[in-house]
Structure 1
Amino acid sequence: MRLAGLLALGLSASALVACSDDGADAARTFANDLATALEQRDLAPVAVDGDAAAYAALVAPLEAVPVEVEVAGVEADGDSAEVELAWQWRSGEQPWAYATTAELARDGDDWSLRWQPSVLEPSLVEGETLALARLAPRRGEILGAAKQPIVTERDVIRYGLDKTKIEPGQVAGSARRIAQALDIEVAPFVKRAKAAGEKAFVEAITLRAEDAKQSVPASYENIPGAVGIGTTRPLAPTREFALPLLGSVGEATAEIVKESEGAVQAGDLVGLSGLQARYDEQLRGVPGVRISANPADADADADADAETDAAEPRVLHESDPVDGEPLTLTLDVGLQREAEQILAGVGPASAIVAIDPASGDIVAAASGPGSGGQNTATFGRYAPGSTMKVVSSLALLRSGLRPDSMVQCPATLTVDGKSFKNYSDYPASSLGRIPLREAVAQSCNTAFVGQYDTLSDDAMTDAAAALGLGVDHDLGFPAYFGQVPPPAGPTEKAADLIGQGKVLASPMAMATVAASVRAGHAVLPQLVVGHEVTQQDPAEPLSAAEAKQLRALMRGVVTSGSGRFLADLGGDLGAKTGTAEYGEPNAAGDLATHAWMIAQRPGLAVAVFVADGQSGSATAGPLLEAFLTAAR
């Protein structure tokens, strides 16, 4: 027994004192057993004068609400006793606490409870029943840069069958016609409609208000019992907007209800995937509850006015809902829309990721429709191809080369039995002995492969870390930073230099590389505002001189290399194209290729990826150009 809790209910310590005879001791023992039985919602373990099952039926609507019942005092007088009970229902943020009196009667050495509804709640009378209603909180918004609403309450229409508007014999036919009109599976909806209560609304589908005009035929309103109920739901600007990142909201599954340990109940709206699921506790808030006493059936002889009065339920307790807290992201709503529109017509998996180099803010992270709902943008794992030459250039600069150092660029080069070549339309004028800056600008594979034996085994791993690649962090959302492991042998070491071998990266990781070149240090991207991350310092951080050289090398790609088509955008823009072979050769012996392109300029770093493309410049390049133009 917790004395502090009893005093909070206004019960004095003196109330605990009772007669000291054997009957009073037995009454106290019975009272403690009674409190335990009441907590367990079953009076079978104690003797009851009356309907012992009435209590269980009465509290059944409160099954999901935890309760504590304690004995606050026992006063025995001969063959009768009064027990003061302290109740506390943990409902919502405001517990329902009160005291009741239970009357006991003694027959010989045995005590029993004189059951009456007031044992449960002091104002309850015979025939009344309890009802619990959950009061839904407002789900927290998901906001973008400058507090722009991303996920907020938006108008929707719930379409379905209102069984109160039709006769029982019409249910199956109306349900079938509704399902056909709304283009949903017929049999499951008809089955649900038949199983629902006679006064039920059986939901078929919920549509955005703007989509409903295009999706619901005019004939729908002629179906008996078919209704559309306007309401709101927490939604993004469009169905596709950052969906792989944001995730979805829907009714709690049985598994979610079970794992919540009472915090979530069937019918509650919860995050089912993505950020909506990871931050669900913050976003969903705390439901309120209303506990009411419903009146007994009105007496048949009562006058009409009395019957009307008796029909009104009494509110016994109400706990206000606590609205969810917003989640703020760094996404720029306008840039995210532009990225998604640019990718809308791309068939293979694709992505555009844009980062502000100064802050590390991810301002766009779009996965194209070809990704099939997967988060290609921040969690995809692909060979980065020649975009990796930005990292390789840093490793070579650290080995002693300079941008104007001469390197050999043959048409083909064999390393430990493995033949490497340049891309099919590599300019013949840039073969032979050329400066490193030209090898970067024209993306000469063999020039980089030929330098493999000048680098230590950890040179590429360290250079990657200096540019934010290959070092994992928990950013509060699914994020893959890539891998640049030490090579297993000469061939793998050579392949790593051109973004093949075992090197992998996500579009976000390669956007981070570009951002780091622009910022002059390893950039740590962020999407969830307020999520704290401890950045690991690279073993050899990027120096200001190195960053300046890398920016110049990337600038050369635009002014005289494979990214010349971007030159008309003007400004201090640097870029790098990339094509990576993957999979098994086709009948002609050719491999499929990933297409990449990264770019950086003041205030913006971007990575564009297409899983299957002709080349970086031909496939990813136009998408990058379109995004950079939109982001001016």
Structure 2
Amino acid sequence: MRSLTLGIAVVLVGTGSACSVLGGEEAAPASDTADALAAALTGHSLGDVPLTDEADRAAFDELVEPLSDVAVSVQAVAVDEPEDPDAAGVAASATLAWSWQLTDSGTWEYESTVALVPTEAGWQVDWAPDALVPDLTDDDTLGLRTVSPVRGDITGADGAVLVTERPVLRYGLDKTKVEGPQVARSARRIARVLDVDVASYVERAEAMGAEAFVEALVLREDDALDVLPAFVEVPGALAVRDNIPLAPTREFAAALLGRVGPATEDLVEGSDGRIAPGDEVGLSGLQARYDEQLTGSPGAAVVARGADDVLRTLVEVAATDGTDLATSLDPALQQRAEDALATLGEDAPASALVAIRPSDGAVLATANGAGAAGADLASTGNYAPGSTFKVVTALALLRSGLGVDDVLSCPATTVVDGRSFKNYDDYPSSSIGDITLAQVVAQSCNTALIGNADRLAPGELTAAAQALGLGVDHDLGFPVYFGQVPPPETETGAAADMIGQGTVLASPFAMATVAASVRAGRTVLPVLLPDHEVTQTPPDAPLTDGEAGTLRSLMRGVVTTGSGRFLLDVPGQVGAKTGTAEYGEPDASGALPTHAWMIATRDDLAVAVFVGTGVSGSQTAGPVLEAFLR
């Protein structure tokens, strides 16, 4: 049962005039006693108001205790005094106007009456339960119940429901069925069956009360079938059916969408009273960021339990249901992305895939493989993009006056300020020597691009990146890392930047934006949340139609003659760029591990695939991309 803590407003109304009581000296009128009673009731007590029966004071405190955190304003709006105030035992009647603030926007307002009895000492209150609430009896008790709102769904393209209430089983230990040493024994067996931390679960089971249900794990009904046979054999084991907001599958955009669960202590403390212990709230991802919108606001009901143990509702303030959160995710493409990453296997390194529709920037899929361990690397990972960045480099060189048919030198190695650079290990020997810029991009020659770094003035590589949507931050309504292309500090740094290493960093989301911009012929601003307004600042040197057309031809050349030839029979007009980026520490042979990348466009679709450690873009990221496109 949840209590609502609100501010208290005291409003007192005085009525009537002075008169004598039982023929004595002129005394305070009944209205003064009624006003004092109203003031005390506004403080959830009978205060020091004189009563005909002192036992009523404690009985009132016990009756009203469940409502002690609900703000109330009580006014004495009328007092009906006896016609003959000198007649002993003749009572007055006070009308009390009550206003309980059950929720931020919902009040419970009504009137009740209470008898005031004249005595030689003055007026006394003849309190009864129906003076608190009409028709309340001596046998009734009160309760306050939270009316839970329906949490809003998260929807995708064309209103498709992505996250909604779905059936689950809550697995745990029912301590009413076990006692003594059996608590620890059962908790230990349950933890092992459900594959949760044994020590912490046993400790929690022993610490909780004798009637507690100690939850261990929540599973979808389909997943639950695997553990049921062993689980039901444990003494005290209990599976409780429930519904919680879930996506279609456990993996479906999990890092982005987030999850819902019991509020943590930190969330309760930082919510300014919006969240109470035991509330189900968003704990991560969009569920957490838009929790207030999705949650709505709870209602409240005051109930009375009679001697027959039957509950009756005295008043109910309806909850305000949460509002759906719209996204642009395409359910079919999102599932295809999850399936494509799953081809890497459960023990694969971190991986991610992002798909964007270039024509309007709609984010259609954003997925993370099992190796991401729950992190949203698709949106916030920051890695050297390797040769996928050569699309940016090509744009900068085109702007410097270089043409796609201009011949560049592609040696096997090149040295810059004492540091040697080479092409990737399986670079085709037939493409060593003098080749065109188109061939440089298609075959991904490192040395040719490094050899032309001096063609670019300071800031031109950064400007080219910004024209393609890389390195410019936007608040898209969820965390996104758009990458960086800072000015190089050394010659070797400038050389490394040309091939997407050095200080150049990007997320899979950022590289999908680059591919989308090439396809769209303008700087694409990705949109995941259609209702979230984003102001786009145009780049200083916007992408032109001619530049975009040239870049599209270069990416098409990667597929027709270069490192992406395995995509040639994929339906549609596919353009691509492979990428490999060294990182970390060398192994025993001196070789550095490499990130594997690939970006591609097909019709009105732009995709980026990242695999944390792989052989090369074409060999490791390529099959994932191909599985997605097919």
Q: Give the alignment's TM-score, normalised by structure 2.
A: 0.87
CA distance in 2, matches of 1:401, 1:197: 76
CA distance in 1, matches of 2:592, 2:203: 50
Using the TM superposition, name which of 532-541 and 287-296 deviates more.
287-296
**Alignment pair present for 1:619 and 2:607:** no
Other-structure match for 1:586? 587
Using the TM superposition, name which of 224-233 and 127-136 deviates more.
224-233
Tell me if the contact between 2:38 and 2:76 (Cα under 8 Å) persists in the aligned partners.
Answer: no
Other-structure match for 2:564? 563
**Alignment pair present for 1:238 and 2:238:** no
CA distance in 2, matches of 1:20, 1:378: 76
Using the TM superposition, name which of 467-476 and 183-192 deviates more.
183-192
Where does 1:124-143 land on structure 2 (aligned, <5 Å)? 124-143=136-155
| Change over 3 Å in CA distance of 1:236–1:24 after alignment to 2 | farther
Could you tell me which of 71, 92, 104 is aligned with 1:67? Answer: 71
Amino acid of the structure 2 residue aligned with 1:454:
R
Deviations 1:329-376 (A, max 9, x none): 211222222221222216111111111111211111111111111111
CA distance in 2, matches of 1:197, 1:295: 28
Other-structure match for 1:305? none
Where does 1:72-471 land on structure 2 (aligned, <5 Å)? 72-73=76-77, 75=79, 82=94, 84-91=96-103, 94-101=106-113, 114-162=126-174, 178-179=190-191, 181-184=193-196, 201-217=213-229, 220-221=231-232, 225-296=236-307, 310-344=308-342, 345=345, 347-471=348-472
Using the TM superposition, name which of 610-619 and 118-127 deviates more.
118-127
Deviations 1:295-339 (A, max 9, x none): 24xxxxxxxxxxxxx332221111223322221221122222222
Other-structure match for 1:485? 486
Amino acid of the structure 2 residue aligned with 1:57:
E
Shift of 1:487: 2.2
Amino acid of the structure 2 residue aligned with 1:470:
G
CA distance in 2, matches of 1:178, 1:425: 52
| Change over 3 Å in CA distance of 1:453–1:193 after alignment to 2 | closer
| Change over 3 Å in CA distance of 1:182–1:601 after alignment to 2 | closer
Other-structure match for 2:3? none
Shift of 1:152: 1.6
CA distance in 1, matches of 2:434, 2:32: 99
Give the secondary-structure state (helix, strand or coil) at the position aligned to 1:233: strand
Shift of 1:165: 6.4
CA distance in 1, matches of 2:463, 2:572: 31
Give the secondary-structure state (helix, strand or coil) at the position aligned to 1:214: coil
Where does 1:8-47 land on structure 2 (aligned, <5 Å)? 17-19=15-17, 35=38, 37-42=40-45
Shift of 1:224: 5.3
Deviations 1:245-290 (A, max 9, x none): 1111111223323333343332221111111111111212222322
Using the TM superposition, name which of 82-91 and 165-174 deviates more.
165-174
Other-structure match for 2:23? none
Amino acid of the structure 1 residue aligned with 2:71:
V
CA distance in 2, matches of 1:235, 1:319: 28
Q: Which runs of 5+ in 1 are unaligned?
A: 1-10, 297-309
Tell me if the contact between 2:102 and 2:317 (Cα under 8 Å) persists in the aligned partners.
Answer: no
Q: Give the alignment's TM-score, normalised by structure 1.
A: 0.86
Shift of 1:229: 3.3
CA distance in 2, matches of 1:364, 1:402: 35
Deviations 1:405-426 (A, max 9, x none): 2222222222233322211222
Give the secondary-structure state (helix, strand or coil) at the position aligned to 1:211: helix
Other-structure match for 2:8? none
CA distance in 2, matches of 1:223, 1:489: 66
CA distance in 1, matches of 2:601, 2:333: 16
| Change over 3 Å in CA distance of 1:295–1:613 after alignment to 2 | same
RMSD across aligned positions (CA): 3.1
Give the secondary-structure state (helix, strand or coil) at the position aligned to 1:623: helix
Shift of 1:102: 5.0
Tell me if the contact between 1:24 and 1:76 (Cα under 8 Å) persists in the aligned partners.
Answer: no
| Change over 3 Å in CA distance of 1:159–1:24 after alignment to 2 | farther
CA distance in 1, matches of 2:587, 2:318: 64
CA distance in 2, matches of 1:123, 1:173: 51
CA distance in 2, matches of 1:586, 1:134: 60
**Larger helix share, 1 or 2:** 1
Tell me if the contact between 2:18 and 2:29 (Cα under 8 Å) persists in the aligned partners.
Answer: no
Other-structure match for 2:530? 529
Give the secondary-structure state (helix, strand or coil) at the position aligned to 1:335: helix
Amino acid of the structure 1 residue aligned with 2:322:
G
CA distance in 1, matches of 2:554, 2:195: 55
CA distance in 1, matches of 2:480, 2:459: 24
Shift of 1:51: 4.6
User: Number of aligned pairs?
Assistant: 602
CA distance in 1, matches of 2:585, 2:48: 72
Deviations 1:49-97 (A, max 9, x none): 4454444432332345x31314243648579783634322223753222
| Change over 3 Å in CA distance of 1:526–1:110 after alignment to 2 | farther
CA distance in 2, matches of 1:25, 1:526: 72
Give the secondary-structure state (helix, strand or coil) at the position aligned to 2:137: coil
Using the TM superposition, name which of 220-229 and 266-275 deviates more.
220-229
Shift of 1:435: 1.2
| Change over 3 Å in CA distance of 1:312–1:517 after alignment to 2 | same
CA distance in 2, matches of 1:173, 1:446: 66
Deviations 1:388-432 (A, max 9, x none): 110111111111111112222222222233322211222222222
CA distance in 2, matches of 1:110, 1:383: 87
CA distance in 2, matches of 1:387, 1:270: 40
Q: Which runs of 5+ in 2 are unaligned?
A: 1-10, 21-25, 86-90
Deviations 1:202-243 (A, max 9, x none): 5443321111211211x5445555443333222111112111
CA distance in 2, matches of 1:34, 1:355: 67
| Change over 3 Å in CA distance of 1:70–1:558 after alignment to 2 | same
Tell me if the contact between 2:477 and 2:529 (Cα under 8 Å) persists in the aligned partners.
Answer: yes
Using the TM superposition, name which of 268-277 and 130-139 deviates more.
130-139
| Change over 3 Å in CA distance of 1:383–1:204 after alignment to 2 | closer
CA distance in 1, matches of 2:511, 2:203: 51
Amino acid of the structure 2 residue aligned with 1:534:
T
Using the TM superposition, name which of 426-435 and 80-89 deviates more.
80-89
| Change over 3 Å in CA distance of 1:472–1:39 after alignment to 2 | farther
Amino acid of the structure 1 residue aligned with 2:328:
T
Shift of 1:538: 0.9
